Amino acid sequence: MTQIIAACESKTNTTPDFPMGWYSVSRSHELAVGEVKRVHAFDRELALYRTRTGKAVLQDAFCPHLGAHLGVEGKVVGESLRCPFHGWRFDTSGKCVEIPYCDEIPDRAQIRMWPVEEKNGEIYIWFHPENSAPKFSLPDLVELGDENWTPPRYAEFEVPAHIQDIAENSCDPVHFQYVHKQMHTPKSTVTVDDDGRILHLNSDMSEAAFPHQLHAAVYQPGLALVRTSYAPEAQMIVYNSSQPIDRNTTLLRWTLTVRREIEDMAGDEVMNGIIEGISQDYPIWANKVHKHKPVFCRGDETLVLFRKWVRQFYVDVREIA
C-alpha cells in the first residue's frame, strides 16, 4: 500500500493556547494620567488608559454601540473613558454611565474589563481562559529603588514564537553550548518549589567570558527573574515580563540592573552582553515549530521537568506534553 508523505510541519503545526497568568501590557512610565492606548494581546484588541486619579484600567476595545475602538481617539473623563464616535462614556467597572443624547442607558451597554495590577514599574493584566480570578500574586522586584542597585535599564524584543517556547529556554542548559557558544554545557540543576508553583534553574557558568553563577526563578511562562552572580557583591538582574500578542508572537520586556559595585567596572558590558545574547536565540525561535509531543532523550531531564511543570498554567492540557 502506498504511503502518502505527510505535509510539512510548518504548514500543519499548531501552538498551545495562552497560559494563565500575569502579563505585562505596558511600562508604568509609558502611560501618563489621562492617556489612552491601543493594546494588542492574546489575539484581542484592548484599550488601556489611566484615570485622572492615576488608576490604570484595561478593557475590551470595541464600543457596544457601533463598534468604535475606544483605544483610538478615546478620551479620559475623570474616572471613565468616552467613546470617540458618539460620546458614550464607560466607568472603570465597564458600565456605561452616560449617553449624551439619551437619558435611558440600555442594560447591555457594558464592556468587559480585565483585572489589572501595577507593580515593578509595569502594568499587568491577569489572563485566564475561563475568566477566573487571579490564582497567584506577582513577585516583588525589591532591587528596584534600592540604592545599592543602578537605575533600571529597559529593552524590548518582539519574537515570532509562542510564549511557552521562549520560556522553555530557561530550562535548557544544553542550548547554552550550541546557541550561546559556551565551551561546554554548564552543570545545571532544575527544581520546583514544594507547592509546585515556581521553577528554579541553577547553572555553573564558570567557563563563560565573564565567569558567573546563574539562577533563574520562573514564576510562569513569560515571567522570570534571572540573577547572575560574578561575586558576592557583583550581581546583575534581568527581569523578563512578556506580552503574548498572539499565539505566534510575543513581546518581551526586560528590566536590567546591576549592583553599584560593578556599575563603572563592568555594568554596561554585562548588560550589553545579555541583550546581545537574544540575537543568538532569535533565529531558532523565529524558524522553529512547536512540538506538542517532542522526542526526548535521557539527557533532557530538565526539559521534561519543565513540560510537566508548565501544565498547571493551562486549562486544557491534552496537547501539553
Single-letter code of the amino acid located at 26? S
Residues 173, 305, single domain; the answer is yes
CA distance linking residue 144 with residue 158, whole number of Å: 24
Domain holding 175, by residue range, is 153-313
Threshold 0.75, pTM exceeds = yes
Residues 179, 306, single domain; the answer is yes
pLDDT tens profile 223-278: 999 998 988 788 889 999 999 999 999 999 999 999 988 887 666 777 777 788 88
pLDDT tens profile 38-54: 999 999 999 999 999 99
Last residue of a domain, one of 92, 127, 162: 127
Residues 232, 192, single domain; the answer is yes
Number of independent structural domains in the chain? 2
Residues 175, 122, single domain; the answer is no
Check residue 274 and give its pLDDT. 75
Residues 76, 214, single domain; the answer is no
pLDDT tens profile 162-207: 999 999 998 899 998 999 888 888 899 999 999 999 999 999 888 7
Phi, psi (degrees; rounded to nearest 5) at 156: -135, 145
Across 113-137, average pLDDT = 96
Check residue 5 and give its pLDDT. 79
CA distance linking residue 104 with residue 98, whole number of Å: 9
Q: What CATH number does residue 276 fall under?
A: 3.90.380.10
Residue 4 lies in a domain: no
Give the distance from CA 24 to its chain's centroid. Answer: 6
Residue count (the chain): 321
Give the distance from CA 226 to its chain's centroid. Answer: 14
Residues 98, 157, single domain; the answer is no
Residue 148 lies in a domain: no
Confidence bin at 321 (pLDDT 50/70/90): low
Q: What CATH number does residue 85 fall under?
A: 2.102.10.10
Residue 8 lies in a domain: no
Residues 71, 169, single domain; the answer is no
Residues 121, 159, single domain; the answer is no
Check residue 161 and give its pLDDT. 95
